[in-house]
Amino acid sequence: MGDSKGGPLAKGLGNLSDRALLLFAGFVYLFLYAPIFVLVFFSFNSSRSTQTWTGFSLKWYGALLQDQSVLKAFYTSLIVGVSSTVIATAIGTFTALALVRYGFRGKGFTDSIVYAATVMPEIVVGVSLLVFFVAASIPLGITTIIIAHVAFNISFVTIVVRARLSGMDRSIEEAAQDLGANPFNTFLRVTLPLILPGVVAGALLAFTLSFDDFVITFFVAGVGSSTLPLKIYSMIKFGVSPVINALSTVILVATVLFIFGGGRLFIKKEEG
């Protein structure tokens, strides 16, 4: 962004096309961030307007805290996010191990199912699960949401962990086994720590996708299972309000903290 102009970044930006590139990059960052800043700014507005500034106030955050249904939706999202991440991360890691470590008949097919689940349009996944749950008389609710989230997250975790696994040096594992460690111990003591950055990255991705999912959840939600995105959707449908700005700001701040926390762990492991 603009403030880095004078820094070392400017070195090598001597000629015109480089300056144009810098300007363009600044413009894209502005495009990415301006709407977010506007959103955050008006969450502190003292009047109901989300467009005209009348003064500073925290009252919309107060209103947010008092809204039981938002807190409940947040809690539901958290339960769904954590449960589906734990399950999907375990299953996805196993699948990645199978795909990298073994050659077997049907591998191509397994591969294509894994990829198909990532590229299948969400709306198709959503309606097919709705149809399936209805036909199987499985009551819609938090359980069906978790089931659905695990289903789309397995593939993402598999892909991320697999990328890490395929670049891994096998010699340490072989040494451990030569020294008499059984496969289970080898996995727990040697393989898992080595692939952990991949597993953590997969889990972070899975949690975010789950926490943010709207389309699939919309179709499979039932009694008392409104997640935060469903709640936000109905709030927006109900009209623009600074309370939504306040909620958005909270989500943004949480996201940034989450990325920095997660990223730090991740980068640390990469170096180690």
User: What b-and-e string marks burial along 203-218, b requiring 16 or more CB atoms within 10 Å of the CB?
Assistant: bbbbbbbbbebeebbb
Residue 245 binds other proteins (CB under 8 A): yes
Q: Which of 246, 211, 205, 253 shows the shortest CA–CA distance to 229?
A: 211
Residues 168-207 that bind other proteins (CB under 8 A): 173-174, 177, 183, 186-187, 191, 193, 196, 200
Smallest separation (angstroms) from other proteins to the CB of 91:
4
Pick from 46, 57, 59, 140 the residue near other proteins by CB under 8 A: 140
Residues 153-172 that bind other proteins (CB under 8 A): 154-155, 158
Q: Tell me the site size for other proteins, rule CB under 8 A.
A: 131
Binding mask 42-71 for other proteins (x = CB under 8 A): x-------xxx----------------x--
Q: Which of 50, 57, 43 shows the shortest CA–CA distance to 248?
A: 43
Percent helix, strand and coil across the chain, each to the nearest 5: 80, 0, 20
Residues 2-21 that bind other proteins (CB under 8 A): 4, 7-9, 11-13, 17-18, 21
Number of Cβ atoms within 10 Å of the Cβ of 78: 14
Residues 69-108 that bind other proteins (CB under 8 A): 69, 78-80, 82-83, 85-87, 90-92, 94-95, 97-98, 101-105
Query: Which residue, chain included where needed, has tokens 């289970």?
Result: 184
Residue 36 binds other proteins (CB under 8 A): yes
Contacts for 44 with CB less than 8 Å, ≥ 6 apart: 56, 57, 58, 60
Question: Cα 252 vs. chain centroid, distance in angstroms?
Answer: 13
Smallest separation (angstroms) from other proteins to the CB of 155:
8
